[in-house]
Chain A
């Protein structure tokens, strides 16, 4: 079981994902340089957080043209797992791996905080180890994390169980007050129709070591491990 973590120029959570996989999960990981076209036989691709290419044109808009993205798209087409976190989620949307888009937070400001998430679908390869309706505490840190899509898409996502994480309060209620960025229908994370690409704004890789706070992201990685081990 090997994770490949893509490093774009400006990625800055690639290291955190690497440490989470190697130190906390005990699995193998390698960095994949954006200029290569070789996935080195990895089982899971991680598109990490950061500010690829400075996010200067629009978050994720340039990274999708990096040479490695062709291989990532091919990997996804074959059903390979792709975990796209924060800037990675933005890149995945820009690259057409996931529907919708991430735009500037409703409050206009960057938001760094630990938020609560309600896990909405324990049937995905990313969430199988969580209990049904689990409420997780996971850090967020983004300026452009407001998930938007047209109403048809949103309804389709909900009907298909593709909404995996929703912002909620400590008690698990998805209220407007608990939504840190104005995401439509409180969406924090979605999977692709085939279920193998997960995009999420919160950072599960920052929530794996009890020393630093709740380790509620650990089961996400363990879910992947369980799936691929099968």
Chain B
């Protein structure tokens, strides 16, 4: 081991300084034991970042280990920059979802933009060319000025970044609920495609190989971003705005092209994004994976400003940077590729045989850790888990006895109010700001059940979607998490895709509270159950804890990013109706309760009751039934029945394509003894609304019975009709004019956002050119 002495001018290591770095007493003792001495300021900074929740998963790792991660399709499971699955024809898909919640809460535009940038880099460092982005967003109610500001800023940030890099944003979800008022959730997912042979990992190998910093120069921005993301938000969070990084999508585009060229060139052995905790995390993780030592000389790192200390250089989260391990002797070849793209490359270190993680400043050693213990010695916590009394009480509420409002006498009033709920309404206001067609692969873009992108060089396509109903998870964590997985699976299946694998982003509150840790452990158990039943392994993801502020925690929100495979382009299926006289068939049961429903939240302002039960085996059967019907050529449209229940699903099939409204006649009179609101708005799971030509009815029924799924005829498509007509019983028929449904569905968000001062306030934000 080398002699490591404090650098002149470094602050003294005091208990206060240690606490400021987020280390508790036990963690600090571990650090001293590991080193056999007091750490230097630089070493304390390194450990503060690596042992932050964001980098170390110290509260979640044991739980995550229970998830299924294997399957014949999996080429790369968790632990790398992104998961990779085989999709046939020698092609592979890399995909991952990641959170950028805390930065977006204090600086929505840059927070969201850099979230998009980070997840893009995670995918192209695997050797895959990004072909699509998705976003899962949660904000407070749009009645709140702050929620409108965050929503407008995040959407613009996502759009400006993705549009400039030239990767289409094709799907996602946006939910508005008071639970996210102070802690918005901004989760970004990226999907990329490569040949299986082009897969590369971030494992440092080859003693003597040079370590090269590539891309943008290192500045003082984003220092300690990882630690910031690992604490509750508070009044003081605004003061941590400088910890939010600044994105430059133009440099990202150059870095993307240069990195893919580097990977294909054969001059490098490993590449990793300098993301959270920057150079520190990327170099330590690459060394740990390769079981080698590394030495880094911070004085060789290209910097933006003079006088940066080793501490700052190591912890900077300046964007658009990569760390590369090249083959020895190929340094000039690497530099030539970067130069062609007007980017810099600097040799800053070396892979060494000595089992040590060493940082020097010129000839002086400023930090040194034995082996890879700075990664592996991080403590693991399994705190107490206990369900909150309040949740148990809420779940036990008898919601059927909640009195109807007088207006509900007219089901059309209720339906319009449901369709105009910002959570259900069309999100075109947001996705019209996203380029969704660049790279010319988008078969189904935003607004469908899931996005579908063709795979060039094959007759296949992939489908993708994110999903999670946080209200369900709040009321019933295990069941709610199962639903998140199954709904995502249903959504990709509705486009004709077989669910293949998932990535997840677990957004929770402070795990040190037993109620939160209970939610986390139950939700992970639920994800595992559903994934095992569906045969969709977890290939990676991200955990974001401490999504809480003095006013409380967010709903526990384990967002699922599902990938599906369509074997034949002829099977691609859309959600909207198109052919006159087609039969409308429900796969699944019409009846169910209202616990945890959008109806209760939207119409009554109540979050209570037991959410619908999710039986993963029934979900599998329903999906298998749907896919067999689609592959046999019987299905003209398919739409998942979820938020808002059957009435909302039917209305969406009728008016979601605003250029072509299509009516229908529906007959629900068989269930005349079920209360209307329960029949129309219950959110029972494992349900899909399909349309089939009359001639297919027999075949579809036979397939459904084979899968033990109930096929229930609901009515017929009426292309010429200007109404959605629903017969409730022999006395009552609801006639819903399509233009009124369309106005409710398509007009809701523009009516709030267009012309709002908060929305206008972000219009002049733009990516910073040079920092």
Q: List A residues at the B interface (Cβ < 8 Å).
A: 9-10, 12-13, 15-16, 19-20, 49-51, 53-56, 108-113, 139, 141, 143, 170, 203, 205-206, 209, 211-212
A-B contact pairs, 25 of them (CB 8 A): A9-B253, A9-B342, A10-B254, A12-B165, A12-B438, A49-B438, A51-B163, A51-B166, A51-B253, A54-B248, A54-B251, A54-B767, A55-B164, A56-B769, A109-B156, A110-B160, A112-B163, A112-B436, A141-B436, A141-B437, A143-B163, A203-B437, A212-B440, A212-B443, A212-B454
The answer to whether A13 touches B438 (Cβ under 8 A) is yes
- A residues less than 8 Å from B163 (CB atoms): 51, 110, 112, 141, 143
- B residues less than 8 Å from A13 (CB atoms): 166, 438
6 nearest A-B pairs in the assembled complex, by CB-CB distance: A12-B166, A54-B250, A141-B435, A56-B769, A51-B164, A16-B440
The answer to whether A9 touches B341 (Cβ under 8 A) is yes
- Given the known inter-chain contacts A13-B166, A56-B250, A211-B569, please indicate yes or no for A20 contacting B440, CB distance below 8 A: yes
Minimum CB–CB distance from B255 to chain A (whole Å) comes to 11
Q: List B residues at the A interface (Cβ < 8 Å).
A: 156, 159-160, 163-166, 248-251, 253-254, 341-342, 431-443, 454, 456, 569, 659, 760, 763, 767, 769
CB < 8 Å neighbour of A54 from B159, B454, B763, B769: B769
CB < 8 Å neighbour of B439 from A15, A51, A54, A170: A15
Residue of B nearest to A205 (CB): B440
| 17 other A-B residue contacts (CB within 8 Å) besides A51-B166, A54-B248, A141-B163 | A9-B250, A9-B342, A10-B253, A12-B165, A15-B439, A16-B439, A19-B456, A49-B438, A51-B163, A54-B251, A56-B769, A110-B433, A112-B432, A112-B433, A206-B440, A212-B440, A212-B442
The answer to whether B431 touches A112 (Cβ under 8 A) is yes
Query: How far apart are the CA atoms of A84 and B304 in the complex, in Å?
Result: 36
- Given the known inter-chain contacts A54-B249, A139-B437, please indicate yes or no for A211 contacting B454, CB distance below 8 A: yes
The answer to whether A10 touches B164 (Cβ under 8 A) is yes
The answer to whether B166 touches A112 (Cβ under 8 A) is no
- A residues less than 8 Å from B442 (CB atoms): 212
- B residues less than 8 Å from A110 (CB atoms): 159-160, 163, 433-435
- B residues less than 8 Å from A111 (CB atoms): 432-433
Residue of A nearest to B440 (CB): A16
The answer to whether A112 touches B250 (Cβ under 8 A) is no
The answer to whether B440 touches A209 (Cβ under 8 A) is yes
Residue of B nearest to A112 (CB): B435
Minimum CB–CB distance from B428 to chain A (whole Å) comes to 9
Minimum CB–CB distance from B252 to chain A (whole Å) comes to 10
The answer to whether A10 touches B250 (Cβ under 8 A) is yes
Query: How far apart are the CA atoms of A19 and B438 in the complex, in Å?
Result: 12
Residue of A nearest to B764 (CB): A108
Query: How far apart are the CA atoms of A141 and B160 in the complex, in Å?
Result: 11
Query: How far apart are the CA atoms of A50 and B437 in the complex, in Å?
Result: 13
- B residues less than 8 Å from A50 (CB atoms): 166
- A residues less than 8 Å from B436 (CB atoms): 112, 141
Query: How far apart are the CA atoms of A108 and B760 in the complex, in Å?
Result: 9
Residue of A nearest to B251 (CB): A54
Query: How far apart are the CA atoms of A221 and B354 in the complex, in Å?
Result: 61
- Given the known inter-chain contacts A9-B254, A12-B165, A56-B769, please indicate yes or no for A51 contacting B437, CB distance below 8 A: no
Residue of A nearest to B431 (CB): A112
Residue of A nearest to B441 (CB): A212
- A residues less than 8 Å from B341 (CB atoms): 9
Residue of A nearest to B256 (CB): A12
